[in-house]
Structure formats: structure tokens, C-alpha cells
């Protein structure tokens, strides 16, 4: 199809311009984070810095704890009754597991996009307006319209849906649904967007559109993405963290991890020897 040519994958080692300011203050810092699901020790002593306004990719084989760690960052693990989180996670020097912190406020700052597109069974407009409505971000209808339009534009979905904003969001294609979910997350102006394998349910063309989108919005947001595809990690991220069996094995700049990993396990994984 013609569209594929427009979004051909970038070379694996293209050094992204914004990517490498290793000395910039990290947006998120995690120290000795442990997660237990009942008896299962899912995440072991993870210590990691996540830089601001860049894309960080978590890679690793299934069940390695990367999604678990991602869900710690906006405390989505709170909804799992058996999950127990210990250790320190700070966003902008603020402990997010501090009992006095309001989880609802935190999640407004840290948006999330899920593995399977999960638009609400409402109209496209209402999907995007959902966050602004509950957080009271607009004073009148005109402002809300503007937020919806801006968010859909940022999610590069506006041109496809501007004439049918009242159609139901579940009627869109899988890729459009996922971009709608990204627009929904953007609409509350978060600082951080967490993406949990956002392309695993999409076809290659839709995947390319979402990756393009990530590339566009990373200037304004700190993005953490969990992915199974190493090509995707190489294409969209500036930094990579490799998890294995609940342990953070190695982290570093994307090109460094893919070209000269320090750890043998990383080497084996990225060359396809396991996982």
C-alpha cells in the first residue's frame, strides 16, 4: 500500500536530536522499587532515572516486570488488591507513594495508554472531553471544543474524525482507537505519558502512525513506553531499560544498548537468542 512508503522505519541507530542530554535532571527517579503480587516477587530492587521530554523504552521478555514497573509510576497497581509496592518513586522530587498525595491528581499528571485500545463506549468527542470534564479544565463549551480539537490534532486524528465527532469511538479502526486513547490522555495536559505496549494490537500501518505520533509529541511530554518489539524501541526511544526476571539488567542510551550492551543477557536478548 502507498501509505507505508511515507512512514518507512527510521534507521536503527539514527541519533535523535533531543535524545541525549544525560546530565539533564531526571523527571522520574526510582530507588529500590520492589513489587510483590501475593507471594510472587515481580520486581526486584529497581533503581532507574527517567529523563524529561524524551522517550524511554522498557524492553524485555514477557513476565520480566516492565509493565509492572510502568504501572507503579501512576499507581495503577493500587487497583490490584494483591499488589504491594515498596521503595521510592519520585516525580519532580515528590514521593508519589506519600500517603498525603492524591492519586487522582497524580494520574491527571501521568497519563496512560493501554495495550488494547480501550475507548469508552461514547462518542469520539466525549472520549476526549472525558478528562477535561472530570478535572474541570474548561469554563465553557467553546473552551472544551478547543481542547478536544487540539488534543485530536496532537494525536494526528483530527483530519480523520473532524466530521464525525459524534460517532461512537468504538466504531473506529484499531489504530484510530489507539490514537483516540492517546488524544484522550493528552487532553488533560499530563507531563508524563505511560504507554503499555500501545502497538501490540495494531497492524504495521497503524503501528507506524502511532510511532510517528510518539516522535511528534515527545518534545512536550516525558514518555515511557513498554514494548516487545526491539525495532520499535530502537525507532522511537532515546533511552532503553532492559528488564529480565524482575530485575533491571541494564539501562542507557538507545544506540549504546543496541550497539554495545555491557551485559551478556542484554546482548543475548537483542540479538534474539531468547525472549
Size of interface with other proteins, in residues (CB under 8 A): 28
Taking CB under 8 A as the rule, does residue 37 contact other proteins?
A: no
Q: Pick from 208, 202, 238: which is nearest to 223 by CA?
A: 238
Euclidean distance between CA atoms 231 and 61, whole angstroms = 14
Euclidean distance between CA atoms 229 and 208, whole angstroms = 13
Taking CB under 8 A as the rule, does residue 121 contact other proteins?
A: yes
Pick the binder of other proteins from 1, 8, 104, 142 (CB under 8 A).
104
Q: Which span (54-62, 147-155, 178-186, 265-273) binds other proteins, by CB under 8 A?
A: 178-186
Euclidean distance between CA atoms 205 and 139, whole angstroms = 38
Residue 249, helix vs strand vs coil = strand
Taking CB under 8 A as the rule, does residue 181 contact other proteins?
A: yes
The burial of 93, by beta-carbon neighbours within 10 Å (0-12 exposed, 13-18 middle, 19 or more buried), is given as: exposed
19 or 161: CB nearest other proteins? 161
The site map against other proteins for 66-95 (x = CB under 8 A) is --------x-x--x-x--------------
User: 130-169: which residues touch other proteins (CB under 8 A)?
Assistant: 130-131, 134-135, 168
Say how many residues make up the chain.
275
122 or 253: CB nearest other proteins? 122
Cβ of residue 134: shortest distance to other proteins, in angstroms?
5
Strand positions, DSSP E, 52-185: 55-59, 83-91, 94-95, 110-113
User: 189-248: which residues touch other proteins (CB under 8 A)?
Assistant: none
Euclidean distance between CA atoms 235 and 254, whole angstroms = 9
Residue ranges in contact with other proteins by CB under 8 A: 74, 76, 79, 81, 104-108, 111-112, 114, 116, 118-122, 130-131, 134-135, 168, 170, 181, 184-185, 188
Amino acid at each position: 500500500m502507498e501509505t507505508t512508503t511515507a512512514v518507512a522505519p527510521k534507521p536503527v541507530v539514527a541519533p535523535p536530536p533531543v535524545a541525549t542530554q544525560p546530565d539533564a535532571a531526571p523527571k522520574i527517579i526510582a530507588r529500590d522499587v520492589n513489587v510483590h503480587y501475593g507471594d510472587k516477587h515481580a520486581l526486584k530492587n529497581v533503581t532507574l532515572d527517567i529523563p524529561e521530554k524524551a522517550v524511554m523504552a522498557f524492553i524485555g521478555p514477557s513476565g520480566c516486570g516492565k509493565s509492572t514497573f510502568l504501572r507503579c509510576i501512576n499507581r495503577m497497581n493500587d487497583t490490584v488488591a494483591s499488589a504491594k509496592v515498596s521503595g521510592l518513586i519520585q516525580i519532580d522530587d515528590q514521593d508519589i507513594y506519600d500517603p498525603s498525595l492524591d492519586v487522582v491528581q497524580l494520574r491527571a499528571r501521568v497519563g496512560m495508554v493501554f495495550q488494547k485500545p480501550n475507548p469508552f463506549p461514547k462518542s469520539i468527542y466525549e472520549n476526549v472531553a472525558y478528562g477535561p470534564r472530570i478535572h474541570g479544565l474548561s469554563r465553557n463549551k467553546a473552551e472544551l471544543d478547543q481542547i478536544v480539537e487540539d488534543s485530536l490534532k496532537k494525536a494526528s486524528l483530527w483530519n480523520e474524525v473532524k466530521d464525525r465527532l459524534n460517532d461512537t469511538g468504538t466504531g473506529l479502526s484499531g489504530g484510530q482507537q489507539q490514537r483516540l486513547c492517546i488524544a484522550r490522555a493528552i487532553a488533560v495536559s499530563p507531563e508524563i505519558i505511560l504507554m503499555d505496549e500501545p502497538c501490540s494490537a495494531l497492524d504495521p500501518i497503524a503501528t507506524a502512525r502511532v510511532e510517528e505520533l510518539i516522535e511528534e509529541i515527545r518534545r512536550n511530554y516525558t514518555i515511557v513506553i513498554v514494548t516487545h518489539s526491539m525495532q520499535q524501541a530502537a525507532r522511537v526511544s532515546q533511552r532503553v531499560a532492559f528488564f529480565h526476571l524482575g530485575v533491571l539488567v541494564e539501562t542507557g542510551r538507545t544506540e549504546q544498548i543496541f550497539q554495545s550492551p555491557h551485559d551478556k543477557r542484554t546482548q543475548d536478548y537483542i540479538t534474539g537468542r531468547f525472549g
